């Protein structure tokens, strides 16, 4: 039987389109330690232009899952001449390289997350904040979900909604 196992599709954001993209975080379902260190900026196999470096540093330094427009506003403090299109290009490159995750909730624009650890996203309905939440150690998604026969999970993108307990 031929091995049809192809490498994971490289998914790029489509930030210029107003259409919603599919969530693209790469939460690993199970089996790994969950203790991965963030990828160093030297990783990724692409050239670190000043713009990419600034966008990544900004995301990494303030992990509040900003939108591209918010990133644009912040990065202009250091790079006043950068364009919004360049910010989108930087984000697309960083997402494509696996250094940044694109996070989508039902409404609203894509947000960006540099957290390389396995995690899901919890949207606080009262504040609009998005929290990174990690799976508890030892949780195997195959034990939580009733999968169709013969299927296994290769990647998970988990979005949760919540609010503070009353």
157 is a contact residue toward Zn ion (CB under 5 A)? no
Backbone angles phi, psi at 53, to 5 degrees: -65, -45
Spatial contact of 88 and 128, defined as CB atoms under 8 Å apart: no
Residue number with the smallest Cβ distance to Zn ion: 113
Q: Name the segment binding Zn ion (CB under 5 A); options: 14-22, 28-36, 79-87, 105-113.
A: 105-113
Mark the segment that binds Zn ion (CB under 5 A) among 14-22, 49-57, 111-119, 156-164: 111-119
Nearer to Zn ion, 93 or 102 (CB): 102
Please state, in angstroms and rounded to a whole number, the distance separating the CA atoms of residues 110 and 86.
16
For Zn ion, the closer CB: 75 or 130: 130
Element (H, E) at 102: strand 101-103
- Residue 113 binding Zn ion, by CB under 5 A: yes
User: Which of 30, 132, 141, 158 lies at the binding interface for Zn ion (CB under 5 A)?
Assistant: 132
CB of 123 to Zn ion, least distance (A): 11
Residues in contact with 25: Cβ distance below 8 Å, sequence separation at least 6, in sequence order? 101, 102, 103, 113, 119, 121, 157
**Helix (H, G, I), strand (E, B), or coil: what is residue 53?**
helix
Residues in the chain: 166
Binding residues (CB under 5 A) for Zn ion: these are: 113, 115, 132
């Amino acid at each position: 039987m031929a091995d049809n196992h192809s490498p994971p599709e490289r998914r790029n954001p489509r930030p210029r389109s107003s259409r919603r993209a599919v969530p693209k975080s790469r939460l690993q379902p199970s089996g790994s330690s969950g203790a991965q260190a963030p990828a160093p900026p030297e990783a990724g196999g692409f050239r670190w232009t000043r713009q990419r470096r600034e966008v990544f540093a900004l995301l990494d330094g303030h992990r509040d899952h900003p939108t591209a427009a918010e990133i644009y506003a912040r990065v202009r403090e250091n790079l006043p001449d950068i364009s919004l299109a360049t910010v989108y290009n930087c984000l697309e490159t960083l997402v494509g390289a696996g250094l940044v995750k694109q996070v989508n909730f039902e409404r609203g624009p894509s947000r960006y997350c540099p957290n390389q650890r396995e995690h899901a996203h919890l949207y606080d309905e009262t504040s609009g904040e998005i929290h990174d939440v990690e799976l508890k150690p030892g949780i195997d998604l195959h034990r939580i979900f009733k999968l169709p026969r013969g299927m296994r999970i290769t990647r998970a993108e988990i979005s949760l909604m919540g609010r503070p307990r009353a």
